[in-house]
Structure 1
C-alpha cells in the first residue's frame, strides 16, 4: 500500500501544472444596456460549474490586479475602476450612444506555474439600442459568435475559436451550463464549434491553448505557456 501511495504521489507530481490549475476568470454583465443607465459588471475567479467564486485575496498570483477595459462604439477604449467585493470585483459604466460595447480583461500572471507562463482573459459584450456593427475585441484567444444575442434552448449554437485573429484549428473549448453540466469540444478545420443548449440561463465558454515555448517572464525562465479565455452566452 505504501508503494502504491508513493507511485500515485509521483504520478501527480509528473502532471503538467496546467492540469492542476483549473480555475478561470470570467465577466458577467447583462447582454442589453440602455443609454443613460448604469451597467453593472462583475468579475469572478474560480469554478463556474460549481459556482465557486474565490475571494480576491485567494486568486492565483497577481491575477487580482487585472485591468478592465471598456471599448466604446466609435471611441477610444478606457480603463474602468473596479471595486473589490467578497467574491470578486464589480464595476459599472453608463452608455452614452447606441451600439455595441465590449468589456475586456487580458492578464498574464506574474508567477509561473512550475515552468509554465499563464494568461487569463475574458470578454463580454453589451448591446445598446440599434447595433449596426460588432465591436472588435482585442483579446488574443477568444470565442466569437456571428451576432451577440440571446439564443434559444434546444437549438444549435455555433461559434468560432480565434487565436491571434486566425481560426484556431482543433482548439479546445469547455462549455459550462448554469446547471453544472460541462463538456469539452474541439474546433473543426475552420475553428468552428456547434452545440445544442438544453437549459436556460448563462453559459460560460472557456477556450484554452497550451504550447511548448521558451522565454523569460519577470526574470524567470519558462518552457511552456497556457492561455485561458472565457466568454458567455445567454439562453432562453
Structure 2
C-alpha cells in the first residue's frame, strides 16, 4: 500500500514539476559520514542540484547556524562552491543545523497559478539518531518530536500549522504526501535506511515590496533532512507496520 501511494504521489509531483519548473526548487542541508555539511538548492527527489554559475546564484547569501545543547544559535561561515554552499565540518555532530535564505528575488509566477510572490526559504538538518532535543527556530519549521524518527510538527510563526501538506522524500527518491492534523502533527513511515527530506510550503497572503519590486504574497518553503541508520530499531519497527 505504501509503495502504491508513493507511486501515485510521484506521478502527481512529476506533473507539478513540469507545470511549475521555476517554482519547484528549495534548499536543504546534507551531512556526510565525516560530518561535513553542505547546503543545496534544487530538488532532492529529482536528484537535481543547481550549480554556479547558474541557478545556484539565485541564492544570494544564506545564513546558517548550529544550535548548541542550550539551544543557542552559533552562526557558521558559508562558502559558495560550484555545486553547493560549503558549511565545513560540524564538530558537534549531535546538534541541529538550521539555515534561511530571505534575499531571494520577487518572482512573477502568475502563469503558473501562484501569483507575484516573494519566496522565503528555510531548512533544518536534524541528527535524529542522537535523540537531540529540538525547538522551534524558523518562521516555517518542521520540528521532530523528541526521540522519534517518525513524528513531526509543522509550525508557522510560532504556532502549529493545521492541515499543512508535507511531502516526504525517501532515500530511494520515492515520495509520499502527508496532511498534518489540527495541531500541525504528522506521523510518517521510514521503511528504508538513509537520508529523508521533508518539505512544506505555506503561502502567506501579505502584500509588500522587496528591492523595489511589489509582491502579492510571501511564499514560505521549508525542508527538514535527517538520516535513518541501517539496522536501527526505528527502521525495523517502521518496516513491520
Which TM-score applies when normalising by structure 2?
0.73
Mapped partners of 1:50, 1:109: distance in 2? 25
1:3 alignment partner in structure 2: none
Note closer, same or farther for the CA distance 1:86–1:128 as it changes in structure 2 (3 Å cut).
Answer: same
Equivalent pairs counted in the alignment come to 203
- Once the two structures are superposed, the pairs formed by residues 157-168 of structure 1 within 5 Å of their partners are 157-168=150-161
2:11 alignment partner in structure 1: none
1:187 alignment partner in structure 2: 180
Mapped partners of 1:173, 1:138: distance in 2? 18
Q: Do residues 196 (structure 1) and 189 (structure 2) align?
A: yes
Structure 1 residue 214 displacement after superposition: 1.1
What secondary structure sits across from 1:49 in the alignment?
A: helix
Check the 8 A contact 1:102/1:137 in 2, yes or no.
no
Q: Do residues 113 (structure 1) and 107 (structure 2) align?
A: yes
Structure 1 residue 135 displacement after superposition: 4.2
Structure 1 residue 210 displacement after superposition: 1.1
Ranges in structure 1 where 5+ consecutive residues have no aligned partner: 1-16, 32-37, 152-156
- Once the two structures are superposed, the pairs formed by residues 54-203 of structure 1 within 5 Å of their partners are 54-59=50-55, 62-74=58-70, 76-91=72-87, 92-95=89-92, 100-114=94-108, 115-126=116-127, 134-147=133-146, 151=149, 157-203=150-196
Mapped partners of 1:187, 1:102: distance in 2? 23
Mapped partners of 2:196, 2:45: distance in 1? 9
Normalized per residue, which structure has more strand? 1
Note closer, same or farther for the CA distance 1:52–1:183 as it changes in structure 2 (3 Å cut).
Answer: same
Check the 8 A contact 2:53/2:82 in 1, yes or no.
no
Check the 8 A contact 2:128/2:227 in 1, yes or no.
no
Q: Which has the larger radius of gyration?
A: 1
C-alpha RMSD of the superposition: 2.8
Structure 1 residue 233 displacement after superposition: 2.6
Mapped partners of 1:18, 1:203: distance in 2? 23
Residue deviations 1:169-201 (CA, integer Å, cap 9, x gap)? 011111111212112221111111122223221
Mapped partners of 1:219, 1:110: distance in 2? 13
Structure 1 residue 122 displacement after superposition: 0.4
What secondary structure sits across from 2:125 in the alignment?
A: strand
Note closer, same or farther for the CA distance 1:170–1:18 as it changes in structure 2 (3 Å cut).
Answer: farther
Mapped partners of 2:185, 2:58: distance in 1? 33
Check the 8 A contact 1:110/1:217 in 2, yes or no.
no
Normalized per residue, which structure has more helix? 2
